[in-house]
Amino acid sequence: MPFPIQRPRRLRRTEALRGLVRETALSARSLVYPLFVCPGTNVKEEIRSMPGHFRWSVDLVVEECQRANDLGIPAVILFGIPEKKDEAGSGAYDPDGIVQRATRAVKKARPDLLVIGDVCLCEYTSHGHCGVLNGGEVENDRTLELLAKTALTQAEAGADIVAPSDMMDGRVARIRRELDAHGFNGTPILAYAAKYASGFYGPFREAAGSAPQFGDRKAYQMDPANQREALREIALDIEEGADVIMVKPALPFLDVLALARREFDIPLAAYQVSGEFSMVAAAAERGWIDRERILMESLISIRRAGADFILTYFAKEAARLLKC
């Protein structure tokens, strides 16, 4: 029955009516705050391409975590910038590495705040690739051993969740086996299951100094042109024991997120990555867009597409906005 009987505008007349029929909600409890940790003490160094985000030393990252948690944010994900990088990325799996130290300190100060460890080697390798090299290629199976060690040392340091972001084949199963063998069968794996080889990671690589020194990541991260392949990657990670699956980046890949939501019934996360943040920040700085509206609209869109929770550099700001 068309117009004039049907008038969808009737339910949009007031905020109370709109609120009554709103289909999607955003809450601070579904936000994860990404943080970069660096050596030293009393260091708070702004990341040029990510205004308002910093490289924090362990002492200061603890305080920042507490501020985020006070806003209702339940979880942080930690990325490390090591003292020195080497061929094998040994800083990633050093029991006393930067993320392991930060995890211990944060858990000590705030036992209830969830700490997620990003499991990857690229921030720790001298060549910037996500695994060990053999000639010009990243060698999959040898890399798995180092990823397993990384996840284990993070769990030992107190990480509540480990999140492999490397895109090696078989990493979820290998990490699951390692954790279980050492008494961490209760530690969930959040798998960056459909992670694309994306230009949107640019600012992150500046922040972490993790850009590949030669070539690119296309031989392990996914081709942005592919959607069916994402389903296959996700299905494999679930078979291997992933507890949560993730799509990354978020906004440019909402179709993948929506499809994943329809096809799989395990919890689904999305990563609104550094480039997504920086584009909004830059356009808002120029006065071209309304920062707060756009950040809230992008987050609700990611939720609407199907994400249960979102890793976002807007976490603190969104949590603040949701409070008022």
Smallest distance, ligand PBG to C-beta of residue 122, A: 5
Catalytic residue, from 107, 149, 195, 316: name it: 195
Binding mask 75-114 for ligand PBG (x = CB under 6 A): ----------------------------------------
Lookup result for tokens 């209702």 = 72
d(CA 117, CA 143): 17
Least distance from C-beta 12 to ligand PBG, angstroms? 35
Say if residues 115 and 188 touch (Cβ distance below 8 Å). Answer: no
The catalytically annotated residue of 85, 107, 248, 316 is 248
Instruction: Using CB under 6 A, pick the residue from 54, 201, 253, 309 that binds ligand PBG.
Output: 201
Q: Which of 274, 278, 298, 301 binds ligand PBG (CB under 6 A)?
A: 274
Quote the CA–CA distance of 23 and 46 in Å, as a whole number.
Answer: 37
The reply to whether 278 sits near ligand PBG by the rule CB under 6 A is no
- Candidates 157, 90, 95; CA nearest to 123 is 90
- Least distance between ligand PBG and beta carbon 130 (Å): 5
Site for ligand PBG in 152-191 (CB under 6 A): 165
Listed residue (263, 203, 208, 205) closest to 231, CA to CA: 263
- Name the segment binding ligand PBG (CB under 6 A); options: 14-22, 176-184, 197-205, 262-270: 197-205
Q: Which stretch binds ligand PBG (CB under 6 A): 137-145, 199-207, 233-241, 280-288?
A: 199-207
137-138 and 161-164 as β-strands: parallel, antiparallel, unpaired?
unpaired
SS3 at position 6: coil
273 interacts with ligand PBG by CB under 6 A: yes
Total residues interacting with ligand PBG, rule: CB under 6 A: 10
Q: How far is it, in rounded angstroms, from Cα 217 to Cα 215?
A: 7
What residues from 108 to 127 belong to the interface with ligand PBG (CB under 6 A)?
Answer: 118, 120, 122
Q: ∠ at Cα 208 (59, 88), nearest 5°?
A: 100
205 is an interface residue for ligand PBG by CB under 6 A: yes
Is 80:98 a contact under the CB 8 Å cutoff? yes
Is-catalytic flag, 248? yes
Q: Are 40 and 84 in contact (CB under 8 A)?
A: no
Cβ distance to ligand PBG smaller for residue 10 or 48: 48
Q: Which two structure tokens, joined as six digits, stand for 19?
A: 């609120």
Prior bond of 224 cis (ω within 30°): no
What is the smallest separation between the CB atom of 219 and ligand PBG, expressed in angstroms? 13
The catalytic residue positions are 195, 248
Residues in touch with ligand PBG (CB under 6 A): 118, 120, 122, 130, 165, 201, 204-205, 273-274
